[in-house]
Structure 1
Amino acid sequence: MTIKKCTLEDSLNLQAISVETFTETFKDHNSPEHLNAYLERAYNVNQLKQELTNQSSQFFFVYYNQEVAGYLKTNTGDAQSKAMGDDSLEVERIYVKKKFQKHGLGKHLLNKAVEIAKVQKKEKIWLGVWEENENAIAFYKKKGFLQTGAHSFYMGDDEQVDLIMTKIL
């Protein structure tokens, strides 16, 4: 298992794994129309290139047996999807391909986010997780995150609720 920071040259690979992991995670719970609308908005190459060049955002691939198995996106400052202050780091995306789940890769990616937050002297790390994603919620609770709020997340035109979970460092 290795973790590598993504660069602009990784934009097509980032798009591919983003679409694959998001679809694997949410296709059974959303209409194809809402899912496709979200995928087109969030994971088009131009959008990802903008995010990759934002100095307040970072992407990392996790490799398992030399294959990209998942990825992490962190945000600080104005790049955070919700104003949480300069003392916070957001884990905006953390996904592992289904075939690589249960290998501890999500834990390694989350540890990478905590490491980044500590290096940047952040006081807390936070994320949004879909209220119906019980496995992810249980994982984050096990890692010391507590629910501190909620906000709307739009899957296409479908308004859903993400729980805000925070860990004090």
Structure 2
Amino acid sequence: MTSFQLRVATADHAATLAQVMERTFRATFGESTAEDHMAEHCRNSYREAIQRAEVVDPDITTLLCTDGKSIAGFAQVRSGKRPACVPGSRAVELHRIYVDAPWHGKGVATLLMDAALDDATKRGADGVWLGVWENNPRALRFYAKFGFVEVGEHIFHVGSDAQRDLLMYRAL
């Protein structure tokens, strides 16, 4: 059985993290998104410089789950403005949580979710919210398992392709 380690990402992880982020996003949404939209989104979201800036941003915690050599998955928790439909006055966002394909089904997502919820609690949050594509049943089931419930919706752009995300919330 693989032993996983959790850690907070540093600027030294930016290049590898950018690659893993793009690979996992493409694996999750590549079949349902036109390549030009996908390429635009990846260019605007997952370059090394962008990840370095996010990793050092005090309002973002980037959590890594590794197998000792490779990043198996990651999660990002961030403070900031919340949509009006999100309850709680101090809710934080679970901005991203992805597991790379070789580690699917090995408990990585659960480790990351537990760590993200712990990070939110340490920040003094009273809840956690997230956006999830309405056509991602696997993710919807996963979030429901952790007590997230639908509270609204918003538009998420993949490149210039507008897609409907469900907004989900869990009180802490």
TM-score (structure 1 length as normaliser):
0.93
C-alpha displacement of 1:107: 0.8
Structure 2 residue runs without a partner (length 5+) = none
Provide, for residues 119-158 of structure 1, a one-character-per-residue CA deviation record: whole Å limited to 9, x for no partner: 2221101111100000000110111000001100001111
C-alpha displacement of 1:104: 1.1
The equivalences for 1:77-156 within 5 A come to 77=80, 82=83, 87-156=90-159
User: How far apart are the structure 1 equivalents of 2:67 and 2:12?
Assistant: 20
Give the total of aligned pairs.
167
Secondary structure at the aligned position of 1:77 is classed as coil
Secondary structure at the aligned position of 1:116 is classed as helix
Amino acid at match of 1:23: R
The answer as to whether partners of 1:76 and 1:86 remain within 8 angstroms in 2 is no
The answer as to whether partners of 1:88 and 1:124 remain within 8 angstroms in 2 is yes
Amino acid at match of 1:133: N
Tell me which residue corresponds to 2:51: 48
User: How far apart are the structure 1 equivalents of 2:45 and 2:89?
Assistant: 24
Tell me which residue corresponds to 2:74: 71
**1:31 is aligned to 2:34:** yes
Amino acid at match of 1:25: T
Q: Once superposed, what is the RMSD of the aligned Cα atoms?
A: 1.6
Tell me which residue corresponds to 2:169: 166
The answer as to whether partners of 1:60 and 1:73 remain within 8 angstroms in 2 is yes
C-alpha displacement of 1:105: 0.7
